[in-house]
Amino acid sequence: GQQLNQSPQSMFIQEGEDVSMNCTSSSIFNTWLWYKQEPGEGPVLLIALYKAGELTSNGRLTAQFGITRKDSFLNISASIPSDVGIYFCAGVPNTGNQFYFGTGTSLTVIP
Amino acid sequence: EPEVTQTPSHQVTQMGQEVILRCVPISNHLYFYWYRQILGQKVEFLVSFYNNEISEKSEIFDDQFSVERPDGSNFTLKIRSTKLEDSAMYFCASGKELYNEQFFGPGTRLTVL
């Protein structure tokens, strides 16, 4: 199946710092979704992207659909303690018909 | 805000037993999905369901698995004869359109002893 690699694998940052993470694939994707998951809960949709180059914001979160269609980026500005969780990218490849999830980026915010 | 709901939140079963996991998708959604997440790992696609039939399934979704929409609101995942390696969180998700936003339920933690 498709592999979506996320980096970094984990981040420890101070409250107030900005965060950047990315998700890359070896093939072209048509859709990118970003989710946040907290322990014992289901993934919560943050941002959906459907077009190459698309830049979409949701509050302090901004995500971009890479122009090569093989990657996507998520930025969080001015992080706060409740940003703690695991962030997953998910996408549908242009030759596929299911969502593949990335390996996740674990974010820890130190107050 | 409408939500996907799942029951039970935790299911413990003996190896070889059948389990049925239940989901109520968001009411105006047409596409339904089951995913699995083994502890500490990524979310894995199992199956998608549309118009009362399976539209896609992964290699994980073997003959031991089945899905059903028995009425207008419930969407179920049945594992016929559970194995130890079926222990995982099982998430139901639903969406309005194919390959579009999917909204996840809180999950059912399945423990097979």
- CB contact burial A81-108 (16+ within 10 A = b; e otherwise): eebebbbbbbbbbeebebbbbbbbbebe
**What mean pLDDT do residues A67-86 have?**
96
- Asked if residue B72 has pLDDT above 90, the reply is no
Q: Which of A31, A42, A100 sits opposite B104 (nearest CB)?
A: A42
Predicted confidence at residue A81, as pLDDT, reads 95
**Residue in B with minimal Cα distance to A87:** B42
pLDDT at residue B32, rounded to an integer:
95
Q: Are strands B10-13 and B108-112 parallel, antiparallel or unpaired?
A: parallel
Q: Give residue-wise pLDDT tens across range B3-16.
A: 999 999 999 999 99
Q: What is the pLDDT of residue B73?
A: 87
Nearest by Cα to A91 from A68, A67, A70, A76: A70
Q: What is the pLDDT of residue A43?
A: 94
Is 80 exceeded by the pLDDT of residue A96? no
* pLDDT for the residue B2: 84
Q: What is the pLDDT of residue A23?
A: 97
**Is the Cβ pair B107, A48 closer than 8 Å?**
no
Do the chains contact at A43 and B99, CB–CB below 8 Å? no
